[in-house]
């Protein structure tokens, strides 16, 4: 068969670039493999002289594909072309959708009792007695062979993936475990062999950046054992408890989510582990910390909102924690109930809250979550895999324009960390300082011109919507005037009236701060992109693996203050800083009147403003 394929079908190949700052890790790899398996062709991945089968997760993971690595995908067989095309589109989508973990902001609640600090997995407060992790073995009758047990477990994980699809991260975890199991199964004939192989894999993961997968391996093994009648159950008491463990298996989070467990303290997990993701999704207050000093079977306070555990809390501490607990839950519910109400400061000043959206679905969510309008439409979603036609673009813009009566659309912002497969930007030593955003007019003008044309066409049917076009990565006055001239030329050519459309810029490059007088004369509005502005202010790449930008640095607030003071046109903020609870009061005091935040942060942002 192999010979047959190689004789009759020409091998096809394509280079793919890992653009996600998380690398090509287990969850996206599992989705990639899941799709690769639907093709009959032989599919391989080549990287640094190693060639591996693209239909098993383990082999791909063994390549340790990280950010900026380029690998070659090859396919040979009847459906080679189709497989290459589909996998390319899927891979790019996986890279674009692979979100970085949001930074969790610590509250600063103070207690009388001794406190120990930890890293927050999931915020929240629990007051209960501590319980050490214990399990019990439950033996049941077994009528399955090893292979049947593996198939049953694999099918169950697939079913969970398919039913959980609405909660993507959870769903991806089940698929990742299924694909891991399938690749282990290929090499094991008995449960003992599977156990040995699992131990080998766990050993190999030690001290690597994939060590968070250890609990998945253990989990898979245990799930097969359970199918064989050897179930291990968590031993929990009826009383409310805070569970102390070295680590938990992802499947154990399901066991504790509707139990007496009020909080969890784990010694050995990471923020990105599947256990941590599931704890967050279940809303269980939890920390990563050394649990050695925590007494067992004694009441403690787990204030995961402040990232501390309070040992031997006195009456006042307990009362304080109860009040905080009640306030947190009331605030959460109240804030959500009031999401459609305006955000007025204590002085009665109205702050407008807009949404950052990245496609039609997130636009609907923004509506549901109480956005006043769209402050940033990241238009890249249409351009991810293939160049969209004029019609595709026009239809999508129309749908989004119709949803709100105030929409700011940002023109294509590629370059830097956002590469497009069909746009050939010559290699750059510093892509973040290269052809990015508005600079694309210099190298690929047609793509931006066509986008402007599509926006203008869409604007004609959404006459009640205020449409604002925003150019990203502007660093000089000339770039903006040239872009605006091109826009007018396109409108004239197609006889479209664009007098109602506003044109503005994102402030992301520090040079703009010193050109405000000139920009004031030509732009209709500004939006501060703090994500990029901070990377350019500090000369620290926003995706840098070890260097971190201090997002709350006074430098950033001074820059914003300078912009607000100099601007004679409306200013909004659309970077992540706009939804940072510690930053919001400072931004309001500086005089910022409009914030644009992710849909899910709208209710909380409004509530914080109501207390400023």
Q: Which residues bind ligand PEP (CB under 6 A)?
A: 376, 378, 413, 508, 529-532, 574-575
Task: Check if the beta carbon of residue 383 is closer than 8 Å to that of residue 420.
Answer: yes
Q: Torsion over CA of 579, 583, 585 and 590, rounded to 10 degrees?
A: -110
- 294 makes contact, choosing from Mg ion, ligand PEP, none, with CB < 5 to 8 Å by partner type, with none
Residue 92 burial (CB count, 10 A): 19
**Which tokens hold the place of 513?**
């701060």
How far is it, in rounded angstroms, from Cα 436 to Cα 504? 17
- 82 makes contact, choosing from Mg ion, ligand PEP, none, with CB < 5 to 8 Å by partner type, with none
Is the CB of 51 or the CB of 548 nearer to ligand PEP? 548
Q: Where are the beta strands (DSSP E) in 404-553?
A: 406-410, 466-471, 502-507, 525-528
Q: Nearest approach, Cβ of 505 to Mg ion (angstroms)?
A: 12
Is the CB of 252 or the CB of 532 nearer to Mg ion? 532
Is the CB of 152 or the CB of 531 nearer to ligand PEP? 531
Give the footprint of Mg ion on residues 483-512 (CB under 5 A): 508
201 binds Mg ion (CB under 5 A): no
359 binds Mg ion (CB under 5 A): no
Q: Nearest approach, Cβ of 508 to Mg ion (angstroms)?
A: 5
Is the CB of 150 or the CB of 574 nearer to ligand PEP? 574
> How many angstroms separate the Cα of 391 from the Cα of each of 205, 398, 448?
48, 10, 15
532 binds Mg ion (CB under 5 A): yes
- 285 makes contact, choosing from ligand PEP, Mg ion, none, with CB < 5 to 8 Å by partner type, with none
**Which tokens hold the place of 186?**
């290929």
The pairing of strands 525-528 and 502-507 is parallel
- 201 makes contact, choosing from Mg ion, ligand PEP, none, with CB < 5 to 8 Å by partner type, with none
Is the CB of 184 or the CB of 574 nearer to ligand PEP? 574
541 binds Mg ion (CB under 5 A): no
Q: Nearest approach, Cβ of 437 to ligand PEP (angstroms)?
A: 8
DSSP code per residue over 295-355: PTTSEEEEETTTTEEESS--HHHHHHHHHHHHHHHHHHHHHHHTTTS-EE-TT--EEEEEE
Task: Check if the beta carbon of residue 83 is closer than 8 Å to that of residue 75.
Answer: yes
Q: Nearest approach, Cβ of 529 to Mg ion (angstroms)?
A: 4
307 binds Mg ion (CB under 5 A): no
What residues contact residue 85 under an 8 Å CB cut-off, 6+ apart? none
Is the CB of 418 or the CB of 453 nearer to ligand PEP? 418
Task: Check if the beta carbon of residue 320 is closer than 8 Å to that of residue 162.
Answer: no
The residue with tokens 């032989």 is: 42
How far is it, in rounded angstroms, from Cα 527 to Cα 375? 8
- 172 makes contact, choosing from Mg ion, ligand PEP, none, with CB < 5 to 8 Å by partner type, with none
Q: Nearest approach, Cβ of 598 to ligand PEP (angstroms)?
A: 10
Q: Nearest approach, Cβ of 574 to ligand PEP (angstroms)?
A: 5
Query: What is the 3 state secondary structure string of 536-559?
Result: HHHCCCCCCCCCCCCCCCHHHHHH
- 574 makes contact, choosing from Mg ion, ligand PEP, none, with CB < 5 to 8 Å by partner type, with ligand PEP
Q: Nearest approach, Cβ of 551 to ligand PEP (angstroms)?
A: 11
| Among 23, 307, 373, 529, interactor with Mg ion by CB under 5 A | 529
375 binds Mg ion (CB under 5 A): no
How far is it, in rounded angstroms, from Cα 213 to Cα 579? 31
- 598 makes contact, choosing from ligand PEP, Mg ion, none, with CB < 5 to 8 Å by partner type, with none
How far is it, in rounded angstroms, from Cα 409 to Cα 462? 14
The pairing of strands 286-288 and 119-122 is antiparallel
**Which tokens hold the place of 29?**
């790899």
Q: Nearest approach, Cβ of 530 to ligand PEP (angstroms)?
A: 5
Q: Which of 25, 44, 274, 453 is catalytic?
A: 25
- 575 makes contact, choosing from Mg ion, ligand PEP, none, with CB < 5 to 8 Å by partner type, with ligand PEP
Q: How many CA atoms lie within 13 A of 445 on its CB side?
A: 9
Is 34 noted as a catalytic residue in this protein? no
The site for Mg ion, by CB under 5 A, has a size of: 3
Q: Nearest approach, Cβ of 355 to ligand PEP (angstroms)?
A: 12
The pairing of strands 42-47 and 70-76 is antiparallel
How far is it, in rounded angstroms, from Cα 243 to Cα 109? 22
Tell me which residues are annotated as active site.
Answer: 25
Q: Which residues bind Mg ion (CB under 5 A)?
A: 508, 529, 532
């Amino acid at each position: 068969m192999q010979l047959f394929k190689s004789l009759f079908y020409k091998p096809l190949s394509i280079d793919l670039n890992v653009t996600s700052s998380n690398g090509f890790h287990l969850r996206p790899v599992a989705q990639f493999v899941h799709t690769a398996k639907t093709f009959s062709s032989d599919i391989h991945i080549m990287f640094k002289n190693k060639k591996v089968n693209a239909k098993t997760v383990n082999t791909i993971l063994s390549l340790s594909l990280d950010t900026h690595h380029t690998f070659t995908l090859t396919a040979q067989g009847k459906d080679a072309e189709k497989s290459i095309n589909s996998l390319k589109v899927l891979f790019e989508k996986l890279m674009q959708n692979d979100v970085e973990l949001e930074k969790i902001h610590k509250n600063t609640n103070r207690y009388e009792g001794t406190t120990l600090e930890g890293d927050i997995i999931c915020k929240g407060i629990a007051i209960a007695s501590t319980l050490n992790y214990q399990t019990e073995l439950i033996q049941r009758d077994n009528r399955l062979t090893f292979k049947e047990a593996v198939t049953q477990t694999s099918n169950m994980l697939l079913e969970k993936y398919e039913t959980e699809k609405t909660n993507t991260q959870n769903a991806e975890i089940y698929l990742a475990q299924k694909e891991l199991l399938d690749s282990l199964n290929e090499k094991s004939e008995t449960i003992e062999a599977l156990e040995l192989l699992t131990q080998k894999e766990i050993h190999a993961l030690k001290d690597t950046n994939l060590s968070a997968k250890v609990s998945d391996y253990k989990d898979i093994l245990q799930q097969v054992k359970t199918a064989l009648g050897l179930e291990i159950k968590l031993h929990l008491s009826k009383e409310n408890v805070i569970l102390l463990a070295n680590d938990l298996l992802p499947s154990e989070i399901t066991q504790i989510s509707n139990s007496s467990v009020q909080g969890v303290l784990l010694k050995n997990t990471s923020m990105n582990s599947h256990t941590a993701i599931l704890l967050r999704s279940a809303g269980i207050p939890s920390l990563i910390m050394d649990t050695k000093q925590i007494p067992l079977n004694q009441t403690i306070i787990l204030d995961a909102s402040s990232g501390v555990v309070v040992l031997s809390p006195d009456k006042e501490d307990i009362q304080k924690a109860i009040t905080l607990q009640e306030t947190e839950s009331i605030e959460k519910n109240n804030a959500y109930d009031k999401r459609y109400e305006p955000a007025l400061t204590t002085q009665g000043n109205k702050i407008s809250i807009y949404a950052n959206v990245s496609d039609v679905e997130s636009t609907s969510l923004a509506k549901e979550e109480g956005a006043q309008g769209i402050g940033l439409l990241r238009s890249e979603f249409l351009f991810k895999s293939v160049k969209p036609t004029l019609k595709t673009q026009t239809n999508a813009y129309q749908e989004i324009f119709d949803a709100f009566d105030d929409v700011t659309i940002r023109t294509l912002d590629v370059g830097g960390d956002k590469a497009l497969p069909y746009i050939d930007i010559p290699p750059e030593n510093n892509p973040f300082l290269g052809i990015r955003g508005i600079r694309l007019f210099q190298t690929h003008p047609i793509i931006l011109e066509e986008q402007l044309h599509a926006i203008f066409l869409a604007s004609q049917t959404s006459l009640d919507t205020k449409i604002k076009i925003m150019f990203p990565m502007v660093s000089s006055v000339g770039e903006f005037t040239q872009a605006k001239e091109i826009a007018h030329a396109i409108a004239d050519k197609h006889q479209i009236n664009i007098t109602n459309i506003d044109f503005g810029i994102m402030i992301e490059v520090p040079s703009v701060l010193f050109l405000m007088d000139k920009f004031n004369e030509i732009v209709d509005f500004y939006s501060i992109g703090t994500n990029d502005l901070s990377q350019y202010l500090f000369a620290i790449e926003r995706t840098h693996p070890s260097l971190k930008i201090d997002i709350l640095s006074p430098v950033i607030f001074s820059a914003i203050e300078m912009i607000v003071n100099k601007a004679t046109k409306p200013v909004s903020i659309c970077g992540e800083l706009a939804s940072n609870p510690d930053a919001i009061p400072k931004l309001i005091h500086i005089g910022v009147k409009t914030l644009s935040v992710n849909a899910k942060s709208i209710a909380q942002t409004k509530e914080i403003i109501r207390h400023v």
